[in-house]
Amino acid sequence: AATQDPPYLAGLNAPQRDAVLTTEGPVLVLAGAGTGKTAALTARLAHLLWTRRAYPSEILAVTFTNKAAREMKERVGRLVGSAVEGMPWLGTFHAIGAKMLRRHAELVGLQSNFTILDTDDQLRLLKQLIQAAGLDEKRWPARQLGGLIDNWKNKGLTPADIDAGESEHYANGKGQALYAAYQERLRALNACDFGDLLLHVLSILKTHRDVLESYQQRFRYIMVDEYQDTNSVQYLWLRLLAQERKNICCVGDDDQSIYSWRGARVENILKFEKDFPGAKVIRLEQNYRSTPHILAAASGVIANNAGRLGKTLWTEHDSGEKVRVLGVWDGPEEARRVGEEIEGLQRGGASLDDVAILVRAQHQTREFEDRFIAIGLGYRIVGGFRFYERQEIRDALAYLRVVAQPADDLAFERIVNTPKRGLGDKALAKVHQLARADQVPLTTAAARILDTDELTPQARRALANLVADLARWRAAGDALPHPELARQILDESGYTAMWQADRTAEAAGRLENLNELVRAMEEYESLGAFLEHVSLVMDNEGAAEEPKVTIMTIHAAKGLEFDTVFLAGWEEGLFPSQRALDEGGLASLEEERRLAYVAITRARRQAIILHAANRRIYGQWTSSLPSRFIAELPREHVQEDSTMSGGESLWRANWSERADPFADVSRGTGRGPGWQRAAGVDMSKPGGGFTSRTFTREPARVLESRASAVSFGAKP
């Protein structure tokens, strides 16, 4: 039969085939990193299309990033040809949510051309509401309210679902009312935030049987990658859609659940079997990605977590090189060493595309960027400080948004006096007043106020010009290609001229960015499509040009793989993060450990872990302690390589030689306050703020016995 196998089955192992061929009924694939879950899901999609079990438009396939969606589309395209082109429901939860919401926007009081707000807009709006409620914005920051609202939305809760008690800790219970006011305001602006993309759709599905049934009919098959990181609203949404046909296949790994801070619930894995009785659970155990040393190192670390579902991993790969642990003096040396190592790899024939540097925190990238620029090493930042977040880009986008969507008040506010047109706060306050009185968007109010004598002649002239400009651009939009329109808007508004006249060092770069923005628009069929893309696409990296090293956070690296992976900054307070240590709970420490597991398992051939003895934190040098996760690496799979003097490297000394590493801290021997700060030790708590479970035993020895329980390199 093997000779007649369709192409997508070639090379799959038995359980993978099972996952592909079990098309009917609920299926849960639960397996460790690199075991081919995503590969199986992709083959499954190909299989459904190839055997004509469903049209492309009848399959709902959820990926974790837009990039993953693109890759899946490409892979399936290669396997089954053009059928994949019309896969409208392949994408992230947010992209799919946005698409559904546009089709039914009126059911939640929006128009289909609603704007998707980003965090910045969201915060400005919340700030206004907090002030309007007479609250002190300093005491009750918008960010905090935003976090609260996001949490509710992640749980699938509308303002009506929240009892007052739940918002007690924000402004004495005013959280719920502010949430309600915020939703009202969004509706008036014909806008929604990211959370709404799912929450609104969930509300629609719950309250409109006909809509729900039409989707239940449409989606013959549902598939979800990275299932361990779905949050409650996503789960409820999936469950509703799958309830009728029950052809849902989810793949995930509980050890890679790293988004609980965004409301992800690993328990959803357990709920799956309850909600879909008779679900077939498939386990994949052969790892195709990494060498035995890498696997053993990752397994050794994650073995320290309690409450895992547990799984076996093995590989047929040759053992390869041990995981290297590299101790360096400070941050700059870390960047220098990584640069040298990469140049060495290049000389050995490696492509920069196969190399990644993974960091725990966004700010860690800068040191590498500086170094790589200095030595001329090409790099890309993925998921980091993004192009579309730069000031000039946001301004330009605001212009485009007002033109595309006149009710977009936030965009109007951003551009009304940028560049400066002599529209003072007084004039703007009057426009606001009229907008509120007449219940119209600011653009409409701006036009109406010209018929009154409310404004000074100067403000009137300025506003009249802007109103006329906006009307002209809107009209021109029908005739002009949208990149052309954008260029015209930027020129005629005086925005480009504003940066041309600017004498600061950044101005040239900003003008380049504006040009790049117009270039980027050419890839989209309409202004609306482009704006949609901007709101959704967080991990866009343009077309591949020359090979580059990738620098990204561990979070952004989920699902990806590279030949060589540098894991930077494995120090207490950095990784595990200070916040996880401050919270002190086992749960946050375990999530950090899952991050370590994700990080190590991104490597195909070589993982190199770095830790610096000193870091500059807020301008001050602080000595730091190697991460506990380094000590948790099984010794026989690790090669130490310290550039520091002294025989035994620091981390062994720090972590393995004491039965209780904190005994001497409490006695106050040997370590200065800098170390305590870096290590996140809170002396006011018993046990120095750490949980006793992790530190009552000597880490290295415990791990050796655990690691030896797992066999590697041979098929069991």
Closest CB to Mg ion among residues 527, 557 = 557
Q: Which stretch binds ligand ATP (CB under 6 A): 28-36, 332-340, 611-619, 707-715?
A: 28-36
User: Which residues from 250-289 bind ligand ATP, rule CB under 6 A?
Assistant: 253, 256, 288-289
**590 neighbors 306 (Cβ within 8 angstroms):** yes
Closest CB to ligand ATP among residues 288, 387 = 288
344 sits near ligand ATP (criterion: CB under 6 A): no
Which residue among the candidates 118, 121, 196, 225 is catalytic per the annotation?
A: 225
x/- letters, 31..70, toward Mg ion (CB under 5 A): ------xx--------------------------------
Task: Please state, in angstroms and as integers, the Cα–Cα distance from residue 474 to each residue in 263, 330, 403, 477, 480, following that order.
Answer: 40, 55, 6, 5, 10
* Catalytic annotation present for 503: no
292 sits near ligand ATP (criterion: CB under 6 A): no
Q: Which does 35 bind (CB under 5 to 8 A by kind): ligand ATP, Mg ion, none?
A: ligand ATP
For residues 228 and 30, what is the distance between their CA atoms, to the nearest angstrom?
A: 9
Distance in Å, CB of 225 to Mg ion, minimum: 6
* Catalytic annotation present for 128: no
User: Does residue 87 sit in helix, strand or coil?
Assistant: coil
For residues 592 and 572, what is the distance between their CA atoms, to the nearest angstrom?
A: 11
**59 neighbors 313 (Cβ within 8 angstroms):** no
**608 neighbors 357 (Cβ within 8 angstroms):** no
Distance in Å, CB of 37 to Mg ion, minimum: 5
162 sits near ligand ATP (criterion: CB under 6 A): no
For residues 565 and 288, what is the distance between their CA atoms, to the nearest angstrom?
A: 16
Q: Which stretch binds Mg ion (CB under 5 A): 108-116, 191-199, 283-291, 554-562?
A: 554-562
559 sits near Mg ion (criterion: CB under 5 A): yes
Q: Which stretch binds ligand ATP (CB under 6 A): 11-19, 88-96, 455-463, 537-545?
A: 11-19
* Catalytic annotation present for 226: yes
For residues 715 and 346, what is the distance between their CA atoms, to the nearest angstrom?
A: 34
**496 neighbors 514 (Cβ within 8 angstroms):** yes
Angle at 255 between CA 251 and CA 257, to 5 degrees: 75
362 sits near ligand ATP (criterion: CB under 6 A): no
Closest CB to ligand ATP among residues 316, 648 = 316
Closest CB to ligand ATP among residues 142, 284 = 284
Q: Cβ-count burial of 288 within 10 angstroms (0-12 exposed, 13-18 middle, 19+ buried)?
A: middle
Closest CB to ligand ATP among residues 289, 430 = 289
The candidate with the shortest Cα–Cα distance to 635, out of 301, 316, 289, 320, is 301
The candidate with the shortest Cα–Cα distance to 364, out of 580, 571, 568, 541, is 568
Given the structure tokens 């959280």, which residue do they identify? 175
* Catalytic annotation present for 115: no
The answer on whether 34 is annotated among ligand-binding residues is: yes
Rg (CA), the chain: 27
* Catalytic annotation present for 38: yes
Q: Which stretch binds ligand ATP (CB under 6 A): 8-16, 215-223, 355-363, 403-411?
A: 8-16
Closest CB to ligand ATP among residues 13, 417 = 13
287 sits near Mg ion (criterion: CB under 5 A): no
Angle at 442 between CA 441 and CA 444, to 5 degrees: 70
11 sits near ligand ATP (criterion: CB under 6 A): yes
Beta strands (DSSP E) in 269-422 are 280-284, 323-330, 355-359, 379-382
38 sits near ligand ATP (criterion: CB under 6 A): yes
* Catalytic annotation present for 74: no
Catalytic residues: 37-38, 225-226, 256, 602
Residues that bind Mg ion (CB under 5 A): 37-38, 559
Residues that bind ligand ATP (CB under 6 A): 11-13, 16, 31, 33-39, 253, 256, 288-289, 559, 561
